[in-house]
Structure 1
Protein backbone atom coordinates (compact mmCIF):
# COMPACT_ATOMS: atom_id res chain seq x y z
CA UNK A 1 0.00 0.00 0.00
CA UNK A 2 2.61 2.57 1.04
CA UNK A 3 6.16 2.90 2.16
CA UNK A 4 4.97 3.28 5.73
CA UNK A 5 2.16 4.40 7.94
CA UNK A 6 2.83 6.22 11.18
CA UNK A 7 0.18 6.79 13.78
CA UNK A 8 1.05 9.65 16.09
CA UNK A 9 0.33 9.62 19.81
CA UNK A 10 -2.86 11.49 18.95
CA UNK A 11 -5.28 9.02 17.28
CA UNK A 12 -6.86 11.94 15.43
CA UNK A 13 -3.65 12.76 13.53
CA UNK A 14 -2.58 10.03 11.10
CA UNK A 15 -0.03 10.13 8.26
CA UNK A 16 1.09 7.81 5.52
CA UNK A 17 4.20 8.12 3.35
CA UNK A 18 3.41 7.21 -0.25
CA UNK A 19 5.81 5.53 -2.62
CA UNK A 20 6.56 7.66 -5.71
CA UNK A 21 4.48 5.36 -7.90
CA UNK A 22 1.26 5.87 -9.78
CA UNK A 23 -0.37 3.38 -7.41
CA UNK A 24 0.05 6.01 -4.67
CA UNK A 25 -3.34 7.46 -5.61
CA UNK A 26 -5.05 4.16 -4.80
CA UNK A 27 -3.00 3.86 -1.62
CA UNK A 28 -4.13 7.34 -0.54
CA UNK A 29 -7.78 6.36 -1.02
CA UNK A 30 -7.28 3.13 0.97
CA UNK A 31 -5.57 5.10 3.74
CA UNK A 32 -8.48 7.57 3.80
CA UNK A 33 -11.06 4.75 3.95
CA UNK A 34 -9.32 2.97 6.83
CA UNK A 35 -8.75 6.16 8.79
CA UNK A 36 -12.25 7.59 8.35
CA UNK A 37 -13.81 4.23 9.21
CA UNK A 38 -11.76 4.13 12.42
CA UNK A 39 -13.07 7.58 13.32
CA UNK A 40 -16.66 6.60 12.55
CA UNK A 41 -16.74 9.08 9.66
CA UNK A 42 -17.46 6.71 6.76
CA UNK A 43 -19.92 9.25 5.34
CA UNK A 44 -17.00 11.57 4.45
CA UNK A 45 -15.14 8.94 2.45
CA UNK A 46 -16.37 9.81 -1.05
CA UNK A 47 -15.47 13.49 -0.73
CA UNK A 48 -12.16 12.91 1.05
CA UNK A 49 -11.15 10.16 -1.38
CA UNK A 50 -11.84 12.35 -4.39
CA UNK A 51 -9.85 15.26 -2.95
CA UNK A 52 -7.01 13.02 -1.76
CA UNK A 53 -6.84 11.49 -5.25
CA UNK A 54 -6.59 14.93 -6.85
CA UNK A 55 -3.95 16.19 -4.43
CA UNK A 56 -1.78 13.08 -4.72
CA UNK A 57 -2.15 13.09 -8.52
CA UNK A 58 -0.99 16.72 -8.57
CA UNK A 59 1.97 15.82 -6.36
CA UNK A 60 2.93 12.99 -8.71
CA UNK A 61 2.50 15.10 -11.84
CA UNK A 62 4.15 18.30 -10.73
CA UNK A 63 6.48 17.45 -7.87
CA UNK A 64 7.62 14.09 -9.19
CA UNK A 65 7.97 15.29 -12.76
CA UNK A 66 5.78 13.03 -14.86
CA UNK A 67 2.22 12.25 -15.78
CA UNK A 68 0.74 8.74 -15.73
CA UNK A 69 1.43 8.42 -19.46
CA UNK A 70 5.17 9.00 -18.82
CA UNK A 71 5.28 12.50 -20.28
CA UNK A 72 6.57 15.65 -18.61
CA UNK A 73 3.90 17.37 -16.59
CA UNK A 74 4.91 20.81 -17.78
CA UNK A 75 5.26 20.68 -21.55
CA UNK A 76 4.07 17.29 -22.73
CA UNK A 77 7.65 16.33 -23.62
CA UNK A 78 8.91 12.84 -22.87
CA UNK A 79 9.87 12.67 -19.24
CA UNK A 80 13.30 11.73 -17.91
CA UNK A 81 11.45 9.42 -15.53
CA UNK A 82 10.30 6.76 -14.69
CA UNK A 83 13.49 4.83 -14.07
CA UNK A 84 11.46 1.65 -13.52
CA UNK A 85 8.00 0.98 -14.94
CA UNK A 86 5.46 2.88 -12.86
CA UNK A 87 8.09 4.47 -10.59
CA UNK A 88 8.80 8.19 -10.56
CA UNK A 89 11.88 10.17 -9.59
CA UNK A 90 11.36 13.05 -7.17
CA UNK A 91 12.88 16.43 -7.84
CA UNK A 92 14.22 16.14 -4.29
CA UNK A 93 14.20 12.49 -3.22
CA UNK A 94 14.68 13.45 0.44
CA UNK A 95 11.12 14.82 0.59
CA UNK A 96 8.51 12.12 -0.02
CA UNK A 97 4.85 12.50 -0.80
CA UNK A 98 2.93 12.21 2.44
CA UNK A 99 -0.80 12.24 3.12
CA UNK A 100 -2.11 13.20 6.54
CA UNK A 101 -5.62 13.21 7.95
CA UNK A 102 -6.45 15.25 11.04
CA UNK A 103 -9.80 15.10 12.83
CA UNK A 104 -10.63 18.02 15.08
CA UNK A 105 -14.37 17.92 15.55
CA UNK A 106 -16.30 19.20 13.71
CA UNK A 107 -13.73 19.19 10.90
CA UNK A 108 -11.33 16.89 9.06
CA UNK A 109 -8.23 18.12 7.25
CA UNK A 110 -6.63 16.17 4.41
CA UNK A 111 -3.08 17.38 3.74
CA UNK A 112 -0.64 16.20 1.07
CA UNK A 113 3.00 17.26 1.20
CA UNK A 114 5.45 16.90 -1.68
CA UNK A 115 8.95 18.04 -2.69
CA UNK A 116 7.89 20.87 -5.01
CA UNK A 117 8.02 24.44 -3.72
CA UNK A 118 5.59 25.61 -6.42
CA UNK A 119 2.05 26.14 -5.23
CA UNK A 120 -0.96 24.72 -7.02
CA UNK A 121 -2.68 27.00 -9.52
CA UNK A 122 -6.26 26.44 -10.62
CA UNK A 123 -6.44 26.77 -14.39
CA UNK A 124 -9.30 28.04 -16.47
CA UNK A 125 -11.64 25.08 -16.87
CA UNK A 126 -11.32 23.55 -20.32
CA UNK A 127 -14.24 21.18 -20.75
CA UNK A 128 -12.56 19.41 -23.67
CA UNK A 129 -9.24 18.74 -21.94
CA UNK A 130 -8.68 15.43 -20.16
CA UNK A 131 -7.09 17.14 -17.16
CA UNK A 132 -6.94 20.52 -15.48
CA UNK A 133 -10.13 20.48 -13.43
CA UNK A 134 -8.73 18.86 -10.27
CA UNK A 135 -8.42 21.99 -8.15
CA UNK A 136 -11.93 23.02 -9.19
CA UNK A 137 -13.12 19.67 -7.79
CA UNK A 138 -11.12 20.22 -4.61
CA UNK A 139 -12.76 23.63 -4.22
CA UNK A 140 -16.23 22.17 -4.84
CA UNK A 141 -15.96 19.28 -2.35
CA UNK A 142 -14.31 21.10 0.57
CA UNK A 143 -15.11 23.93 2.95
CA UNK A 144 -11.79 25.52 2.01
CA UNK A 145 -8.33 24.59 0.78
CA UNK A 146 -4.92 26.15 0.43
CA UNK A 147 -1.21 25.50 0.57
CA UNK A 148 1.88 26.50 2.51
CA UNK A 149 5.60 26.14 1.79
CA UNK A 150 7.48 23.81 4.11
CA UNK A 151 10.69 24.86 5.84
CA UNK A 152 13.63 23.49 3.91
CA UNK A 153 11.88 22.00 0.89
CA UNK A 154 8.48 21.29 -0.51
CA UNK A 155 4.96 22.33 0.30
CA UNK A 156 1.77 21.04 1.85
CA UNK A 157 -1.62 21.37 0.17
CA UNK A 158 -4.54 21.06 2.59
CA UNK A 159 -8.29 20.68 2.27
CA UNK A 160 -10.84 21.20 5.03
CA UNK A 161 -14.05 19.17 5.35
CA UNK A 162 -16.98 19.70 7.69
CA UNK A 163 -17.46 16.43 9.56
CA UNK A 164 -20.77 15.14 10.86
CA UNK A 165 -20.90 14.37 14.59
CA UNK A 166 -18.85 11.27 15.30
CA UNK A 167 -20.85 8.06 15.54
CA UNK A 168 -20.94 5.98 18.71
CA UNK A 169 -19.36 3.12 16.72
CA UNK A 170 -16.31 5.24 15.95
CA UNK A 171 -15.90 6.26 19.60
CA UNK A 172 -16.30 2.62 20.68
CA UNK A 173 -13.65 1.35 18.22
CA UNK A 174 -11.07 3.84 19.47
CA UNK A 175 -11.69 2.98 23.12
CA UNK A 176 -10.88 -0.73 22.56
Structure 2
Protein backbone atom coordinates (compact mmCIF):
# COMPACT_ATOMS: atom_id res chain seq x y z
CA UNK A 1 0.00 0.00 0.00
CA UNK A 2 1.42 3.35 -1.02
CA UNK A 3 1.43 6.52 1.04
CA UNK A 4 2.26 8.81 -1.87
CA UNK A 5 0.49 10.60 -4.63
CA UNK A 6 2.46 11.07 -7.86
CA UNK A 7 1.92 14.13 -10.03
CA UNK A 8 3.20 14.48 -13.60
CA UNK A 9 2.48 17.41 -15.90
CA UNK A 10 5.79 17.25 -17.79
CA UNK A 11 6.79 13.59 -18.27
CA UNK A 12 10.36 14.52 -17.31
CA UNK A 13 9.37 16.26 -14.06
CA UNK A 14 7.54 13.96 -11.66
CA UNK A 15 6.63 14.61 -8.02
CA UNK A 16 5.32 12.33 -5.30
CA UNK A 17 3.86 13.69 -2.07
CA UNK A 18 4.73 11.58 0.95
CA UNK A 19 2.89 11.21 4.24
CA UNK A 20 5.00 11.67 7.38
CA UNK A 21 4.79 7.94 8.14
CA UNK A 22 6.96 4.85 8.15
CA UNK A 23 6.09 3.99 4.56
CA UNK A 24 7.49 7.25 3.16
CA UNK A 25 11.00 5.88 2.57
CA UNK A 26 9.71 2.74 0.84
CA UNK A 27 7.28 4.82 -1.24
CA UNK A 28 10.11 7.14 -2.30
CA UNK A 29 12.16 4.13 -3.46
CA UNK A 30 9.19 2.66 -5.36
CA UNK A 31 8.54 6.05 -6.94
CA UNK A 32 12.21 6.30 -8.01
CA UNK A 33 12.15 2.75 -9.43
CA UNK A 34 9.02 3.23 -11.52
CA UNK A 35 10.03 6.70 -12.72
CA UNK A 36 13.58 5.75 -13.70
CA UNK A 37 12.40 2.58 -15.47
CA UNK A 38 9.77 4.62 -17.30
CA UNK A 39 12.53 6.93 -18.52
CA UNK A 40 14.71 3.98 -19.54
CA UNK A 41 17.21 4.83 -16.79
CA UNK A 42 16.88 1.78 -14.56
CA UNK A 43 20.67 1.59 -14.30
CA UNK A 44 20.56 4.70 -12.07
CA UNK A 45 18.13 3.16 -9.60
CA UNK A 46 20.59 1.96 -6.94
CA UNK A 47 22.30 5.34 -6.57
CA UNK A 48 19.11 7.41 -6.81
CA UNK A 49 17.23 5.12 -4.42
CA UNK A 50 19.99 5.30 -1.81
CA UNK A 51 20.08 9.11 -1.99
CA UNK A 52 16.28 9.39 -2.00
CA UNK A 53 16.13 7.14 1.06
CA UNK A 54 18.66 9.29 2.90
CA UNK A 55 16.95 12.57 2.00
CA UNK A 56 13.48 11.35 2.95
CA UNK A 57 14.82 9.84 6.18
CA UNK A 58 16.46 13.18 7.01
CA UNK A 59 13.17 14.97 6.34
CA UNK A 60 11.35 12.56 8.66
CA UNK A 61 14.04 12.69 11.33
CA UNK A 62 14.89 16.40 11.38
CA UNK A 63 12.22 18.44 9.64
CA UNK A 64 9.31 16.77 11.39
CA UNK A 65 10.92 16.12 14.77
CA UNK A 66 8.88 18.79 16.55
CA UNK A 67 5.52 17.68 15.20
CA UNK A 68 3.52 15.58 17.67
CA UNK A 69 2.19 13.34 14.89
CA UNK A 70 5.59 12.65 13.29
CA UNK A 71 7.48 9.40 13.82
CA UNK A 72 9.90 9.53 16.75
CA UNK A 73 13.64 9.66 16.11
CA UNK A 74 13.87 6.08 17.43
CA UNK A 75 11.11 4.97 15.06
CA UNK A 76 12.90 6.56 12.11
CA UNK A 77 16.17 4.87 13.17
CA UNK A 78 14.40 1.51 13.19
CA UNK A 79 12.82 2.40 9.84
CA UNK A 80 16.21 2.96 8.23
CA UNK A 81 17.30 -0.51 9.35
CA UNK A 82 14.21 -2.19 7.90
CA UNK A 83 12.28 -0.28 5.26
CA UNK A 84 9.50 -2.88 5.15
CA UNK A 85 7.79 -1.95 8.42
CA UNK A 86 3.99 -2.30 8.47
CA UNK A 87 1.75 0.73 8.54
CA UNK A 88 1.40 2.23 12.00
CA UNK A 89 -2.14 3.26 12.92
CA UNK A 90 -2.75 6.28 15.10
CA UNK A 91 -2.12 10.02 15.07
CA UNK A 92 0.22 9.91 12.07
CA UNK A 93 -2.72 8.90 9.90
CA UNK A 94 -4.54 12.09 10.85
CA UNK A 95 -1.60 14.01 9.37
CA UNK A 96 -2.16 12.50 5.93
CA UNK A 97 -4.16 15.54 4.85
CA UNK A 98 -1.06 17.73 5.39
CA UNK A 99 1.44 15.54 3.47
CA UNK A 100 4.45 17.82 4.09
CA UNK A 101 7.25 15.95 2.29
CA UNK A 102 7.65 15.77 -1.49
CA UNK A 103 10.14 13.94 -3.66
CA UNK A 104 10.66 15.08 -7.25
CA UNK A 105 12.68 13.54 -10.05
CA UNK A 106 13.66 15.69 -13.01
CA UNK A 107 15.26 14.27 -16.17
CA UNK A 108 17.01 16.82 -18.32
CA UNK A 109 19.49 14.85 -20.38
CA UNK A 110 22.23 14.14 -19.51
CA UNK A 111 21.22 14.57 -15.86
CA UNK A 112 18.64 13.45 -13.33
CA UNK A 113 17.91 15.53 -10.26
CA UNK A 114 16.38 14.03 -7.13
CA UNK A 115 14.89 16.71 -4.86
CA UNK A 116 13.15 16.31 -1.50
CA UNK A 117 11.25 19.23 0.01
CA UNK A 118 10.09 19.46 3.61
CA UNK A 119 8.56 22.07 5.92
CA UNK A 120 11.73 22.93 7.86
CA UNK A 121 13.82 25.96 6.89
CA UNK A 122 16.91 24.55 8.65
CA UNK A 123 19.49 23.40 6.14
CA UNK A 124 21.18 20.02 6.31
CA UNK A 125 24.54 19.89 8.05
CA UNK A 126 27.03 17.12 7.36
CA UNK A 127 28.55 15.88 10.59
CA UNK A 128 32.04 14.55 11.07
CA UNK A 129 31.84 10.87 10.15
CA UNK A 130 31.68 8.66 13.21
CA UNK A 131 32.04 5.11 11.98
CA UNK A 132 30.80 3.70 15.27
CA UNK A 133 27.61 5.78 15.51
CA UNK A 134 24.33 4.37 14.19
CA UNK A 135 23.51 7.56 12.29
CA UNK A 136 25.17 10.69 10.93
CA UNK A 137 26.62 9.40 7.65
CA UNK A 138 23.62 10.10 5.39
CA UNK A 139 24.87 13.30 3.78
CA UNK A 140 28.26 11.70 3.21
CA UNK A 141 26.46 8.94 1.30
CA UNK A 142 24.51 11.54 -0.68
CA UNK A 143 27.81 13.24 -1.54
CA UNK A 144 29.43 9.94 -2.54
CA UNK A 145 26.63 8.64 -4.75
CA UNK A 146 25.65 11.84 -6.55
CA UNK A 147 27.64 14.20 -8.77
CA UNK A 148 26.64 17.20 -6.65
CA UNK A 149 24.12 18.07 -3.97
CA UNK A 150 22.87 21.11 -2.12
CA UNK A 151 19.82 22.80 -0.68
CA UNK A 152 17.77 25.96 -1.05
CA UNK A 153 15.17 27.62 1.18
CA UNK A 154 11.66 27.78 -0.23
CA UNK A 155 9.57 30.95 -0.32
CA UNK A 156 7.64 31.30 2.91
CA UNK A 157 8.88 28.23 4.76
CA UNK A 158 10.60 24.97 4.10
CA UNK A 159 13.52 23.87 1.99
CA UNK A 160 14.45 21.58 -0.86
CA UNK A 161 17.50 19.32 -0.75
CA UNK A 162 18.66 18.13 -4.17
CA UNK A 163 21.19 15.75 -5.69
CA UNK A 164 22.34 15.54 -9.33
CA UNK A 165 23.13 12.28 -11.15
CA UNK A 166 24.72 11.78 -14.54
CA UNK A 167 22.23 9.94 -16.75
CA UNK A 168 24.40 9.87 -19.85
CA UNK A 169 26.20 6.63 -18.89
CA UNK A 170 22.91 5.02 -17.88
CA UNK A 171 21.32 6.02 -21.21
CA UNK A 172 24.27 4.55 -23.15
CA UNK A 173 24.17 1.38 -21.04
CA UNK A 174 20.41 0.95 -21.57
CA UNK A 175 20.76 1.58 -25.34
CA UNK A 176 23.48 -1.08 -25.49
CA UNK A 177 21.23 -3.59 -23.74
CA UNK A 178 18.43 -2.92 -26.20
CA UNK A 179 20.75 -3.44 -29.18
CA UNK A 180 22.10 -6.73 -27.77
CA UNK A 181 18.63 -8.09 -27.04
CA UNK A 182 17.30 -7.22 -30.52
- Compute the TM-score of the two structures, normalised by the length of structure 2: 0.78
Q: 1:69 aligned to 2:70?
A: no
What is the RMSD computed on CA atoms of the aligned residues?
2.4
How many angstroms apart in 2 are the aligned matches of 1:19 and 1:98? Answer: 9
Deviations 1:53-109 (A, max 9, x none): 0000000000111324379xxxxxxxxxx9927x3898xx85710000000000000
Change beyond 3 A, Cα 1:2–1:168: farther
How many angstroms apart in 2 are the aligned matches of 1:53 and 1:70? Answer: 12
The answer for the alignment partner of 2:155 in structure 1 is 151
Tell me, yes or no, if the aligned pair for 1:114 and 1:154 is still in contact at 8 Å: yes
Deviations 1:137-163 (A, max 9, x none): 000000000000000110000000001
Once superposed, which parts of structure 1, at least 4 consecutive aligned residues long, lie more than 4 Å away? none
The answer for the alignment partner of 1:116 in structure 2 is 120
Change beyond 3 A, Cα 1:70–1:130: closer
How many angstroms apart in 2 are the aligned matches of 1:96 and 1:4? Answer: 12
How many angstroms apart in 1 are the aligned matches of 2:132 and 2:105? Answer: 33
Tell me, yes or no, if the aligned pair for 1:102 and 1:108 is still in contact at 8 Å: yes
SS in 2 for 1:33: helix
The answer for the alignment partner of 1:98 in structure 2 is 102
The answer for the alignment partner of 2:3 in structure 1 is 2
Change beyond 3 A, Cα 1:23–1:95: closer
Task: Extract unaligned runs of 5+ from structure 1.
Answer: 72-81, 170-176
Question: How many residues align structurally?
Answer: 155
How many angstroms apart in 1 are the aligned matches of 2:19 and 2:42? Answer: 25
The answer for the alignment partner of 2:12 in structure 1 is 12
The structure carrying a bigger helix percent of its residues is 2
The answer for the alignment partner of 1:22 in structure 2 is 22
Task: Extract unaligned runs of 5+ from structure 2.
Answer: 66-71, 78-87, 177-182
Tell me, yes or no, if the aligned pair for 1:95 and 1:115 is still in contact at 8 Å: no
2:90 corresponds, among 84, 99, 104, to 84
How many angstroms apart in 2 are the aligned matches of 1:48 and 1:70? Answer: 20
Tell me, yes or no, if the aligned pair for 2:22 and 2:76 is still in contact at 8 Å: no
